[in-house]
Amino acid sequence: MNSSLVGNQSGRPFCLLAISYLETINFCLLEVVIIVFLMVLIISGNIIVIFVFHCAPLLNHHTTSYFIQTMAYADLLVGVSCLVPSLSLLHYPIVLSESLVCQIFGYVVSVLKSVSMASLACISIDRYIAITKPLTYNTLVTPWRLRICILIIWLYSCLVFLPSFHWGKPGYHGDVFQWCANSWNTDPYFTLFIVVMLYAPAAFIVCFTYFNIFRICQQHTKEINERRVRFSSQDGEAGEAQPCPDKRYAMVLFRITSVFYILWLPYIIYFLLESSNVYSNRIASFLTTWLAISNSFCNCVIYSLSNSVFQKGLKRLSGAICASCARQRVAKDSSTSRSKRSSNGCHV
């Protein structure tokens, strides 16, 4: 409370990263640059992912595409919601009170990241079923059941963070708002509730499924190579080791999951330390929070660099855009030439 009064008396804006702060600038320059930069990357990257999925039918052949697209839409909404703190840091007038805006923004971002975390867990379960039960996979995993699962993910994410409005600060630290930093505290019981209901189950599911996926793939690869070597030795030809085809696709999803938890781990650790009153620092809160939010852009980068079908769809999309631009340019040039000929004819 005292820090709030000091900030108001000095007339300077509330800035967490006030490093080499210029007196002539009346807004938080460094925070705005970081948030706007991430916002542009997140929105543009996920829009491209969504368009590629709609333009490449082969990508929709995999059932995991349902969850990948769910993550892309959630990450896109994270980028759009970043407009709220950037306007606040620029001291743009907001109709609602700062406390309500802070709580709503923290709740929305927490729900969206919960959707991403739950989607990653469901992806790992989907790949686990595909490898352990390949013959009955199509009967177990149907488009209707996938839609129901996605609906449950959204509803569960909305419900698990709903107590934050009365219980305490949720998984997101909205410290770009002064009220969030000074008056909205984390509650150790609410932190334990979030860990038990979301973080721990998702992490356990991901670790369990991918450990078994790679163990099974390694076993399958060994058996396939032994058979290949046996038959090739009978034919007198040298056999080459062939990797498990499911393992290649699982590696793409494993990279996405690993980067997600690597970027979120510093924030989760800080969240636990602050809730237990062990360590509290506003700069650490800001940096760990926005490092975690940057994962919304990393997903599309990893998928675009790792998936060959996605790369083909991206090339097809860029080719269609270039062809459309070329047609518009040709049409514009032809209309310009016709107008010139008609004007010359009038002057004759």
- pLDDT at residue 100 in the model: 82
Compute the distance between CA of residue 84 and CA of residue 107 in angstroms, rounded to an integer: 13
* Closest alpha carbon to 109 in 216, 264, 318, 321: 264
pLDDT value of position 345: 47
pLDDT in tens, the chain (348 residues): 233 333 343 445 566 666 545 544 555 777 778 888 888 888 988 888 888 777 766 566 667 778 888 888 998 998 888 777 766 666 666 666 777 888 888 888 889 888 988 988 888 898 888 888 888 888 888 889 999 999 999 999 999 999 888 887 775 555 566 777 777 777 788 888 888 898 889 888 988 888 888 888 778 777 777 777 676 665 555 555 555 555 666 676 677 778 877 888 888 788 778 777 788 777 787 788 888 888 888 876 776 666 666 667 677 767 766 676 667 776 666 666 665 555 454 443
Neighbours of 278 (CB within 10 A): 9
- Predicted confidence at residue 275, as pLDDT, reads 74
Is the Cβ–Cβ distance between 218 and 95 less than 8 Å?
no
Walk me through the domains of the chain, giving residue ranges and CATH numbers.
26-227+246-315 (1.20.1070.10)
- Put simply, whether the predicted model's pTM sits higher than 0.85 gets the answer no
* Predicted local distance difference test score (pLDDT) of residue 24: 45
Q: Given this model, what pLDDT does residue 10 score?
A: 45
Maximum alpha-carbon separation in the chain = 88
Task: Report which residue type is found at 101.
Answer: V
